[in-house]
Amino acid sequence: MPPRLLVVGLGNLPHPNTRHSIGHVIIDVLAAQFGIHRSINRSVGGFKGCSNVLSFLDDIVSLTLFKPKLLMNIAGPSVKSTLHNTVKLPASMVVIHDSLDHKVKVLSVKLEGSANGHNGVWSVIDTLGANADFYHFRIGIGRDHAIDRANYMLPDMPLDRLLHWNGIGLDRVCHELRRITSRNQTI
């Protein structure tokens, strides 16, 4: 059986192309990169797709991508349900979300840890309880102190400007996913 990895992107469906929904955007980019079709899965409350992909280790990896349908701040139960229906182990799950505390283009990767004030991550941690040892991919969106946080995080943006990734960032995300998959194979 190939190693399995669940990648969850936090965001808000009513605000799809915003800094705050960068987790959803990254899931969409990964789905396009790996040709993974996602559809609404009512049992888990979101858009889910899974495929065996030849990528990370020049080996087959069972990759599940998930975008919760619920608003980010209450997405924890959907994420927990998807976790239990796929990889089972939180250490085989990556949660991608925005971070005001990191500069634009910065990807911070951490296993376990706190929500750092992010309500969507707090919802996941709170729902998983003591088993919240998943990987956090904090995508830096920067911060403009001259304007209100909501006015900075929620305006629609052109996708190319929103991502600022154009290859290099996506390569970094895939590199980190490869490292996690490699680590999990040796456990």
Active site residues: 20
Euclidean distance between CA atoms 96 and 21, whole angstroms: 10
Q: What is the dihedral of CA 85, 96, 98, 130, to 10 degrees?
A: 60
What b/e sequence results for 46-64 when a residue is b if at least 16 CB atoms lie within 10 Å of its CB, and e otherwise? bbbbbbebebbeeeebbbb
Q: Are 66 and 8 a contacting pair, CB within 8 Å?
A: yes
Q: Tokens at residue 22, please?
A: 């960068």
Q: Which amino acid is at 5?
A: L
User: Under 8 Å CB-to-CB from 121, ≥6 apart: which residues?
Assistant: 10, 95, 97, 115, 136
Q: Are 107 and 176 a contacting pair, CB within 8 Å?
A: yes
